[in-house]
């Protein structure tokens, strides 16, 4: 099972600062640098949402 980690733009389209926040939060959540990113873009090519799938933490 995986955990969905997503970020949407606070307005219509995502800003560079919001994308940076997503990357920083994903790294803190344990996302590796080679983790694929899924994005939804508008018809004009602007980013609306981004998400990654994180593996569930191992049971201890």
Q: Give the count of domains, the chain.
A: 1
Per-residue confidence band for 57, with pLDDT thresholds at 50, 70 and 90? low
Tell me if the pTM is above 0.85. Answer: no
Residue 60 lies in a domain: no
Question: By the 8 A CB rule, do 19 and 44 touch?
Answer: no
Q: pLDDT (tens digit, 9 = 90+) per residue, 4-48?
A: 666 776 677 888 888 898 888 888 888 888 988 888 888 888 888
Domain holding 51, by residue range, is 2-55
SS (H, E, C) 36-47: CCEEEECCCCCE
Q: Which position has the token pair 């926040």?
A: 21
33 in any annotated domain:
yes
Q: Which two tokens stand for residue 49?
A: 């949402």
């Amino acid at each position: 099972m995986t955990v969905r980690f997503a970020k949407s733009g606070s307005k219509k389209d995502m800003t560079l600062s919001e994308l940076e926040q997503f990357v920083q939060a994903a790294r803190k959540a344990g996302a590796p640098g080679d983790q694929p990113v899924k994005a939804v873009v508008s018809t004009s090519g602007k980013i609306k949402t981004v998400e990654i799938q994180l593996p569930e933490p191992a049971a201890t």
